Amino acid sequence: MAFTVWPEALQLGELFRQAGFELALVGGPVRDLLLHRPSHDLDFCTSARPEEFEPILKAWGDGFWDMGRKFGTLGAIKRRPDGTEVSVEITTYRSDTYDPNSRKPEVNYGDSLEGDLSRRDFTVNAMALRLPECEFIDPFHGANDLQAQLLRTPVDPRQSFDDDPLRMMRAVRFVAQLGFTIAADTAQAITEMTERIRIVSAERVRDELTKLLLSANPHAGIEALVESGLADIVLPEIPALQLELDEHHRHKDVFAHTLMVLDRAIALETDEEGPVPAPDLVLRLAAIMHDVGKPKTRKFEPGGKVSFHQHDLVGANITRKRLKALRFDHHIVDDVAKLVELHLRFHGYIDEPWSDAAVRRYVRDAGHLYHRLNRLTRADATTQNKHKEAMFAHAMDEMEARVEALQQQEDIDAIRPDIDGSEIMQILGLTPGPLVGKARKHMLDYRLDHGPVDHDVAVAELLRWAQEEGLS
């Protein structure tokens, strides 16, 4: 088994050996070594107690932290000669006991590396390298599972998930990140124990969902989330998209369509220099949530047709509620909900190309989400009709070209009325209040409709509006 161990790990191993303590590299870094994947954060476990290895870590590192001290964990950063850094965390051997109503363990120190490995989530994360000799330790045959791309728990899966239900979310996340399959007994245990996920904080669930969506294959992760039954609890709007087809099969399988949109949106992400650098959490969330309003708005029309009127607006409200419940940051909630609300906006352009005013309004309403909205809209055009597909792509290309042309003439990304609020009050003799806001809105609409105009033209329009409103 050939691999190159990080020199920092070997340095620490020698320092711990000299002090009379055991040290082993464990978990993800060992797995990534075998997969030849990069890893910038190194996890270790040791026979030493925190107060015993703290001086070693402080002397070795260029930075030190102890936020995990109550769990037996201390950390440090080491700066390399090339300017890069490696982060390490070292934890005393543990043997946790769990309260059935909490996923937070009562930390008890263990006395062996093998015992520590037995409490880990999956066999592929329960391998270790004793340092500095680099002895490979694999009591649960994680290397075999790694080769088979299989996720199994080191102990009975029911015990493992009962101890820490978040491990069920980690399983579906690893499906997305690593392309692994969940072993049959492990998958069965997840299906039977989904209710246990309710004791996990929304923040923890959110973090796992975020890692899943930002992974190499979130499509597979979402499928696993739904198949396991976990989605029924943590993201119920997604399995709800598995609508029963109407008897005439005249509308799409919305769940399958959603996964297709997710794949297409990811394919439209850009490199770091582009407007939507991959991986983009907001775009990917919008892709999986864009049609969540359909189950509530589905209506069977005469002739066997199916409609989903205003599913964009209903979906935006549902999205906002769900993302808030998952404790996503406010700006992410606002951005994703806005994309869901606007994802049908462009479709009217195909039937009748917009005026310049309508193009300005589209850009203004999309704001900083303009490039994401266009990508979501393109991704959502999943028609199998090649002619319709070509027409849609041509229309979107044309609209984007018009936006570029208008941006060269005027700053439509930051459109403001030609007369600001202060000048409106001065011209009309108003004091701050609702009338000023109403006047400003009219002047903004005028600006959107007519583009930039000379100042005297804008003043004349304001006075005309004021007279029409009965203002002297």
pLDDT at 463 over 90: no
Token pair in block for residue 221 = 């992760």
Among the listed residues 170, 259, 155, 183, the one whose alpha carbon sits nearest the alpha carbon of residue 212 = 170
Domain that holds residue 312: 236-414
Q: How many other CB atoms sit within 10 Å of the CB of residue 82? A: 5
Whether residues 223 and 245 share a domain: the answer is no
**Chain segment 80-90, per-residue pLDDT in tens:** 988 899 999 99
Q: How confident is the model at residue 413 (pLDDT cuts 50, 70, 90)?
A: low
Whether residues 161 and 265 share a domain: the answer is no
Q: Are 138 and 117 in contact (CB under 8 A)?
A: no
Q: What would the mean pLDDT of 206-233 be, rounded to a whole number?
A: 97
Whether residues 196 and 324 share a domain: the answer is no
Whether residues 195 and 255 share a domain: the answer is no
Whether residues 163 and 71 share a domain: the answer is no
Q: What would the mean pLDDT of 315-332 be, rounded to a whole number?
A: 98
The residue type at 436: V
**Chain segment 238-277, per-residue pLDDT in tens:** 999 997 554 444 445 899 999 999 999 999 999 999 999 9
Instruction: Give the number of C-alpha atoms closer than 13 A to the C-alpha of residue 187, restricted to the C-beta side.
Output: 16
Whether residues 402 and 254 share a domain: the answer is yes
Which of 235, 269, 288 represents a domain boundary (last residue)?
235
* Residue 469, CA distances (Å) to 298, 442, 447, 456 in order: 42, 11, 19, 20
**Chain segment 160-181, per-residue pLDDT in tens:** 999 999 999 999 999 999 999 9
Q: How confident is the model at residue 2 (pLDDT cuts 50, 70, 90)?
A: low
Whether residues 262 and 394 share a domain: the answer is yes
Q: Specify the CATH number for the domain of residue 98.
A: 3.30.460.10
* Residue 438, CA distances (Å) to 214, 362, 433 in order: 43, 21, 9
**Chain segment 8-46, per-residue pLDDT in tens:** 999 999 999 999 999 999 999 999 999 888 888 999 999
Which of 216, 235, 254 represents a domain boundary (last residue)?
235
Whether residues 156 and 288 share a domain: the answer is no
Q: Specify the CATH number for the domain of residue 172.
A: 1.10.110.30
Report how many domains make up the chain: 4
Please give the torsion angle defined by the CA atoms of residues 105, 107, 112 and 113, in that order, rounded to the nearest 10 degrees. 50
Which of 171, 200, 235 represents a domain boundary (last residue)?
235
Whether residues 86 and 20 share a domain: the answer is yes
* Residue 266, CA distances (Å) to 37, 150, 227, 284 in order: 22, 26, 22, 7
**pLDDT of res. 97:** 55
**pLDDT of res. 340:** 98
Q: Specify the CATH number for the domain of residue 240.
A: 1.10.3210
Whether residues 213 and 298 share a domain: the answer is no
**Chain segment 353-370, per-residue pLDDT in tens:** 788 888 888 888 898 999
Average pLDDT, the chain: 90
Whether residues 375 and 428 share a domain: the answer is no
Whether residues 158 and 278 share a domain: the answer is no
Which residue shows structure tokens 């066997």?
A: 304
Q: Are 74 and 16 in contact (CB under 8 A)?
A: no
- pTM of the predicted model, to two decimals? 0.82
Alpha helices (runs of H) in 214-353, residue ranges in sequence order: 218-228, 231-234, 254-267, 281-289, 294-297, 311-325, 330-342, 347-351
Distance between CA 440 and CA 449 in Å, rounded?
14
Query: What residues are paired with 131 via a beta bridge?
Result: 23
**pLDDT of res. 3:** 67
- C-alpha 394: how far from chain center: 30
